[in-house]
Amino acid sequence: MNTAEKPAAALQALAQDFRDALRQSVYLVRRLDADGDLSAAQLSTLKMLLGDGVRVGEIARNLGVRVPSATEQIIKLERAGLARREPDPDDSRAVRVTLTDAGLAPVASANERRTTVMAGVLSSLSDEDRAALAAALPVIGRINATLLA
């Protein structure tokens, strides 16, 4: 039962199960994001701006989308008054995107509300289940990082 002996079968089975779980989770995430005033893509983008200012290309990379898609979201956020675009002082080709004061509260409340809903779901699990989930999250994070490289 060491690594070299069962590459194909067990690995494929795990991959299949993981794919299935993720597929279902996509719809779960959709539900979770459906009720808010901020869309999933917008909230993700805004959360990225909490620091000092982020370039469009970096936003795109972090979101896993192309630059034009990021630009589109940013423009929407700007029109909504939640984000601001400024020229980068060091590189005039670049644009630095920052969160406006008006954007702070919405991002916090939208984030909190969704997390609370999710916490409600998790509260119905057993301690064991929650422990298993917590143990797997870093692994999933590593998988995601691999694919985004």
Nearest distance from residue 1's CB to its own copies, in Å? 9
Structural contact between residues 122 and 137, judged by C-beta atoms closer than 8 angstroms = no
Residue found by looking up tokens 């590459």 in the block: 7
Rounded Cα gap, residues 112 and 100, in angstroms: 19
Structural contact between residues 128 and 89, judged by C-beta atoms closer than 8 angstroms = no
| Residue 14 touches which of DNA, its own copies, none (Cβ within 5-8 Å per kind) | its own copies
If the CB atoms of residues 5 and 90 are measured against DNA, the closer one turns out to be 90
Rounded Cα gap, residues 69 and 59, in angstroms: 10
Rounded Cα gap, residues 94 and 57, in angstroms: 9
Pick one of 16, 66, 72, 91: the residue that binds its own copies (CB under 8 A): 16
Structural contact between residues 26 and 12, judged by C-beta atoms closer than 8 angstroms = no
Binding mask 27-66 for its own copies (x = CB under 8 A): xxxxxx-------x---x------------------xxx-
Nearest distance from residue 74's CB to DNA, in Å? 6
Contacts with its own copies, residue ranges (CB under 8 A): 3, 7-8, 11-12, 14-32, 40, 44, 63-65, 114-116, 118-119, 121-125, 127, 129-130, 132-137, 139-144, 146-148
